[in-house]
Every structure is written in structure tokens, then in C-alpha cells.
Amino acid sequence: MLLIESIAVIVGAYVLGAVPSAFLYARALKGIDLRAHGSGNIGIANFMVHAGWKAALPLLIFDVFVKGMLPVVIASERILGLGIGVEVAAGFASIAGHNWSVFLGLTGGRGMATVLGVIVTLSWPLVILYGAVAGLGWLATRSSALWWGIAAVMLPVWSELLRRYFASTTDVAPDVTVFCLGFLFITVIKRLVSNSNTLSNSQGLALTQLVWNRLLFDRDVASREEWINRRPKT
């Protein structure tokens, strides 16, 4: 019975994560296909370019609390009590669904908001550290993609530090570190291949430069303005 419930939660997490919320909201609110506008990314960041941050708030709430948090809470002791392993698997599934949505031909966003909901449910101190790295970095450089990437790199480090030295107050399970490492791997793969199945080069760059730009800036070129303006705005 627990096996069936675990599989159902994990599959359900993927399907929920795969709901293309930003894509659907952009269609309803602005009448546009995000894949053909701005950066071409099907996520909150590209949506904000065309609709503003206030309009993006419902998306942020949905991705954090419904896509990210809900499947983990359902798997946790609060509801089904399926164990930390299933909680972590549900978190992975939700992010994978968001990044590679079955409803959009295995394309999708980056999962930055979805992972916040997963992390805050698995270990709330981690979400503070994760967000602090990204937020402070952005304030210093105004480069969000760069610092979200650095925050992802630091996430398993924070997890291990909390687990080893603050176990009495944070209760970070080893499975949480596994999740953080897995999320870092997902982030790297998503940045490298973007929304294609290969490391395609549309800018005529040397492969090493393309890889560097994608890993650091999550785009083919270093300039954000150049990247988002290669497609029309509305």
C-alpha cells in the first residue's frame, strides 16, 4: 500500500509540476506565447519582462506553494507519512515536471520558484540561506541568473553544514543533502541544454564560450538585454 501511495505521490508531483502555469497565464493575460517572446523561456522571469512583477505574483505563489510545497507536504508526516525519501523524490519530480513539461513537448522553465517550496518544506533554514545568496548577489551585481546559479552550487554545502554542526536545531536529514546535489545537477543540465535536447548554438559562438555563458548566465550571450531583445516584446 505504501509503495502504491509513494508512486502515486511522485507521479502526481511530476504532473502538477508540469502544469505550464506561466505559459498559460501569459496566453490568458497577454495573448502571447512565451516561447516566441523575450528570452523564449517558459517561466516567471520571462513572464515578468512582458507583464511586470505584480502580475507575476500569482505565478510565484502557485509555483512555490502548489508545485513545490504541496507534494512534499502530502508525502510528509503531516499527511501520508511516506518518509523523507519519498518527500525528496516528490520534490525532484515536481521540479523535473516544471523544467521538462509533458504538456509542452518536454520544455519548461528553470524551477527556481518551485525549488523554494520544496526546500522550505524539507528544511526551512536552507531556503533562507539559498535566497540570501541569490538576493545579496543580485543587489551587488544586478545579475540574477549568475547568483541563482551560485546559490544552487552553495545549497548542498549549506545543507551539510547545517546537518553536521546545527543538527539539534535544524534537523537536516542526509536525504536533504542528496536533494540539494540532485537539484544542482538538474540546474546544470537545464542550463546547458536549455529547452532543446542538445547543446545547440544559435549565436555562432565557440563551444567553450557557449558552455561558459550558459553555465554562468543561463543564456547564450553574456548580455541580458541582448538576449531578451532578440525576440519581440509586447
Q: Is pLDDT above 60 for 232?
A: no
Look at residue 102 in the predicted model and tell me its pLDDT.
Answer: 95
pLDDT band at 221 (very low <50, low <70, confident <90, very high): confident
pLDDT band at 226 (very low <50, low <70, confident <90, very high): confident
Dihedral Cα 53, 57, 62, 65, nearest 10 deg: 110
Residue 117 within any structural domain of the chain? yes
Q: Is pLDDT above 70 for 168?
A: no
Q: What tens digit of pLDDT does each residue of 95-109 get?
A: 999 999 999 999 899
Average pLDDT over residues 228-232: 65
Residue 234 within any structural domain of the chain? no
Q: What tens digit of pLDDT does each residue of 8-39 get?
A: 999 999 999 999 999 999 999 888 888 887 77
Q: Is pLDDT above 60 for 233?
A: no
Look at residue 230 in the predicted model and tell me its pLDDT.
Answer: 66
Q: Domain count of the chain?
A: 1
Residue 135 within any structural domain of the chain? yes
Look at residue 80 in the predicted model and tell me its pLDDT.
Answer: 95
Q: Which residue range is the domain that position 16 belongs to?
A: 2-228
Residue 189 within any structural domain of the chain? yes
Look at residue 16 in the predicted model and tell me its pLDDT.
Answer: 97
Average pLDDT over residues 177-202: 85
Sequence-separated contacts (24+) of 156-162 with Cβ below 8 Å: 156/180, 156/181, 156/184, 158/126, 158/129, 158/130, 159/123, 159/126, 162/123, 162/125, 162/126
Residue 233 within any structural domain of the chain? no
Q: What tens digit of pLDDT does each residue of 44-85 get?
A: 888 888 888 888 999 999 999 999 999 999 999 999 999 999
Higher pLDDT, 31 or 121: 121
Half-sphere exposure of 41 (CA within 13 A, CB side): 27
Q: What tens digit of pLDDT does each residue of 32-43 get?
A: 888 887 777 888
